[in-house]
Amino acid sequence: MTNSRRTFAIISHPDAGKTTLTEKLLLQGGAIHLAGEVKARGAARRARSDWMKIEQQRGISVTSSVMTFEKEIEGETITFNLLDTPGHEDFSEDTYRTLTAVDSAIMVIDAAKGIEPQTRKLFEVCRLRSVPIITLINKVDREGRSGFELLDEVADMLALDVSPQMWPVGMGGLFEGLLDFRSGEVARPEGDSKEYLGKRDGDADIPENFAEEAELAQVGYPEFDLEAYRNGDLTPVYFGSALKNFGVEELIDAIARHAPPPRPQPAGEDQISPERDEVTGFIFKVQANMDPNHRDRIAFMRQVSGTFKRGMKLTPSGLGKPIAVHSPILFFAQDREIADTAEPGDIIGIPNHGTLRVGDTLSEKNDIRFTGLPNFAPEILRRVQLKDPTKTKQLRKALDDLSEEGVIQVFYPEIGGSSIVGVVGQLQLDVLISRLSAEYKVEAALEASPFATARWLKGPQDKIDEFERFNQGSLARDRDGDLVFMAKSPWDVGYQEEKNPELAFSATKER
Ligand code: G4P
């Protein structure tokens, strides 16, 4: 049962085609009928409309955070959970954290642009956790760079073996179709819009120069190796056009055949297997209600093991006493419905009033704690300036709350008064200011800080003490009291690393 789930995300730079591909994936996926849903339909329908009413009244939007679709592949029904990674102006730590909840990712690259900055950042986060990656080189219906150039760029820039699984027969105006190496068939454009409507020919009749290219591509790169892919060392590469529907079916097929089913998750020294009977999971994202009159939040739990049933009691690690999960939300392609059951790999939305925090473990017996959910070094650091100096206590409370929720990270400098907040995306700062004002009645402004990034410090105590003596002006504590080196530039980090080889300057911190 559990091995029929594929929980994945799409990583890409804005405009590469993530939205278009998502739509096409959902279109190809059939209607969702999970076991147990049929008999519960009446209740589920009522509950669903209640939920949507609440959502409207209170301005919560969880739409498209998680999309589920199903497809029958080689006689087996596979359930795909696609987790959205906000990738545009709202790029934030949420985006990174979502990648801690997936078992694999699709990396979409624009054939004219190759690897772009955001693709690369997101890729690095995947690499941290050895998340296997399938690559789609998109927009082959337009003029792009040569396939070889793109393959080499992925290999060189990301230090990853590439294994092409198909080849575009021409690009742009010359585009004649896609040659699938596995079947030897060419999928061809049809109709006025030149879309892919399902026509393939086996006895591929393609111009000689393209046939030669395809052969070169097949012999010139490593063969697909499942183990290397699953370890994150090799990426199979597909070509296609999300817009024209080319290569989409092959991509779904590839996820079904190669992408790992729910993986065991680290909990200290242990690995918690999806086969474990006990229901366990972890919170990777909390979405707060934007209406200040309601403190409701939706916590997104990635289920790791067991079979979840509605009404079940789970104990959050941060709380210690069990909560009954009466109105969990499962996410479907079109609607959200109240979940009756969920399996490892599924995502469950749990409405709560702030009891659940990012990084919390939930379990039936409260006997494990998932680890490896990292905080990421912020890329934007700002000093928080209070407009009313008597509100220091409220500000501290608010910053602690919001950092626990994962909206921002907060750093308290060892010298000097004002707190520093760190984020990976600009939008987080806007959210911070508006929530400070609306929810905590604290008016604050953000000012430039002299720091560019932060690194968590680890090492032998005497070396830390020594470092502290000389660099106190660049040290701060995060909300857990852990020591952080505030760097003025990336160069500063490199310099200190070299000067202090016994100390680790870590760009991530595990919770
Ligand atoms: P994103 O979510 O990664 O930011 O990208 P999105 O899917 O929104 O696509 C960005 C633009 O690229 C869109 O055009 C979209 O139609 C186009 N696009 C996506 N896939 C393909 C493809 O395979 N081939 C071609 N030729 N274009 C593609 P737009 O003009 O910005 O938006 P719209 O006016 O089409 O909505």
**How do residues 32-42 score in pLDDT, each as one tens digit?**
333 223 333 34
Q: Is residue 347 domain-shared with residue 397, that is, in the same domain?
A: no
The residue whose CB lies within 8 Å of the most ligand 1 atoms, and thus the one to mutate among 12, 15, 21, 88, is 15
Instruction: Identify whether 404 is part of a domain.
Output: yes
Q: Is residue 61 domain-shared with residue 92, that is, in the same domain?
A: yes
Instruction: Identify whether 22 is part of a domain.
Output: yes
C-alpha 285/C-alpha 32 separation (Å) is 24
Q: Is residue 255 domain-shared with residue 273, that is, in the same domain?
A: no
C-alpha 131/C-alpha 83 separation (Å) is 14
Residue of the nearest CA to atom 14 in ligand 1?
A: 15
Quote the crossing angle between the two packed helices 117-128 and 147-158, to the nearest 10°.
Answer: 50
Please provide residue 485's backbone torsions phi and psi, each rounded to the nearest 5 degrees.
Answer: -90, 120
Pocket of ligand 1 (CB under 6 A): 12, 14-20, 138-139, 141-142, 241-243
Q: Is residue 350 domain-shared with residue 385, that is, in the same domain?
A: no
Instruction: Identify whether 392 is part of a domain.
Output: yes
Q: Is residue 355 domain-shared with residue 400, that is, in the same domain?
A: no
Q: Is residue 95 domain-shared with residue 156, that is, in the same domain?
A: yes
User: Hunting for tokens 């994150």 — which residue is that?
Assistant: 232
State how far the alpha carbon of 439 is from the alpha carbons of 357, 431, 432, 433, in Å.
17, 11, 10, 10
pLDDT of 376? 78
Q: What's the CA-to-centroid distance between 19 and ligand 1, angstroms?
A: 8
Q: What is the rounded average pLDDT for all residues in the chain? A: 85
Q: Which of 203, 231, 261 is the last residue of a domain?
A: 261
- Residue partners of 189: CB distance under 8 A and separation at least 6: 175, 176, 177, 195, 196, 244, 246
Among 231, 242, 220, which residue's Cα sits nearest to residue 162?
Answer: 220
Instruction: Identify whether 149 is part of a domain.
Output: yes
Structure tokens at 322: 């069990």
The enclosing domain of 36 has a CATH number of 3.40.50.300
Q: Which of 363, 388, 405 is the last residue of a domain?
A: 363
- Name the domain count of the chain: 3
Q: Is residue 402 domain-shared with residue 270, that is, in the same domain?
A: no
Summarize pLDDT for 293-309 with one digit per residue, the tens: 666 778 899 999 999 98
The residue whose CB lies within 8 Å of the most ligand 1 atoms, and thus the one to mutate among 21, 196, 243, is 243
Instruction: Identify whether 368 is part of a domain.
Output: no
> What's the alpha-carbon Rg for the chain, to the nearest Å?
24
pLDDT of 316? 92
Structure tokens at 350: 């749990």
Summarize pLDDT for 50-71 with one digit per residue, the tens: 444 444 444 444 445 788 888 8
Q: Is residue 238 domain-shared with residue 104, that is, in the same domain?
A: yes
Q: Is residue 179 domain-shared with residue 287, that is, in the same domain?
A: no
C-alpha 497/C-alpha 461 separation (Å) is 16
The enclosing domain of 483 has a CATH number of 3.30.70.3280
Q: Is residue 60 domain-shared with residue 125, that is, in the same domain?
A: yes
Q: Is residue 30 domain-shared with residue 72, that is, in the same domain?
A: yes
Q: Is residue 391 domain-shared with residue 503, that is, in the same domain?
A: yes
Which segment, 49-53, 203-207, 417-421, is predicted with the most confidence on average?
A: 417-421
Q: What's the CA-to-centroid distance between 143 and ligand 1, angstroms?
A: 14
Please provide residue 298's backbone torsions phi and psi, each rounded to the nearest 5 degrees.
Answer: -110, 120
Q: Is the dihedral of CA 108, 113, 115, 120 positive or negative?
A: negative
Instruction: Identify whether 471 is part of a domain.
Output: yes
Structural domain containing residue 39: 2-261
Structure tokens at 429: 């700062």
pLDDT of 426? 78
Summarize pLDDT for 440-454 with one digit per residue, the tens: 999 999 999 999 999
100 belongs to an annotated ligand binding site = no
Instruction: Identify whether 486 is part of a domain.
Output: yes
Q: Which of 246, 261, 276 is the last residue of a domain?
A: 261
Instruction: Identify whether 369 is part of a domain.
Output: no
